[in-house]
Amino acid sequence: MTRYIAPSILAADFANLQKEIEIINASKADFIHCDIMDGVYVPNISFGLPVVEAVKRHAQKPLDVHLMIVEPERYLKKFRDAGAFYLTVHQETCMHLHSTVTEIKKLGMKAGVSLNPHTPVNTLEEIINDVDMVLIMTVNPGFGGQEFIPRSYEKIRKLKALIESSGSHALIEVDGGVDLTNAGTLFETGVNVLVTGTTIFESENPAETIRQLKNTGR
């Protein structure tokens, strides 16, 4: 099974963002994960459209944009125009999730849906065949550098079973507290995409850390 790494720039040095992106460009990373936080859905404010546009100008990897905002349907086209390749909304923030997923795809992006730690996998049963990726939050969203929630493994197994039983092509992505101690087990459990911020950007050699994350357990 293909293994993807999506470094989260929330943990990057924002005073030197172009340099950080160039390091990612030269690495084995597959996506650049952009965490958009509005201070309402999550108790933190990160960055918005101008930063995504700036990242896009320098990125040589597709942008994996994670919307931790209320009423994300207001901004789908704006994030498409800013350069989003994957656009992920939270199940908990969408009154009309099927319609929002349909609109994301109509705009030419890949549609992702994210579940908070308390939200069951079965809430996606009716749209699992419409989405391109499911992002399982392995921490409570809002901050980098948190502890991985161990119960996430059981949730990944449930999601994998739903994807297999429904014939969905959705990728499984996890986000939060991912590091070299759990990356191998996560891939073995069926995860396709690891989002990692702190482990990569606080390491001495981010490109080497990305290589290790991708090959761990092999």
Least distance in angstroms from the C-beta of 95 to Zn ion = 22
Check residue 35 for interaction with ligand DX5 (CB under 6 A): yes
> CB under 8 Å to 150, separation ≥6 — which residues?
none
Q: Between residues 168 and 199, which has the closer beta carbon with respect to ligand DX5?
A: 199
Q: Which stretch binds Zn ion (CB under 5 A): 31-39, 47-55, 74-82, 157-165?
A: 31-39
- Nearest by Cα to 175 from 61, 9, 21, 1: 9
Active-site residue, 175 included: yes
- Report the site for ligand DX5 in 51-70 (rule: CB under 6 A): 66, 68
Among 20, 30, 35, 64, binds Zn ion (CB under 5 A): 35
Structure tokens at 63: 């942008």
Task: Look at residue 196 and give the partner it binds from ligand DX5, Zn ion, none, a contact being a CB closer than 5 to 8 Å depending on partner kind.
Answer: ligand DX5
Q: Between residues 73 and 179, which has the closer beta carbon with respect to ligand DX5?
A: 179
Least distance in angstroms from the C-beta of 139 to ligand DX5 = 6
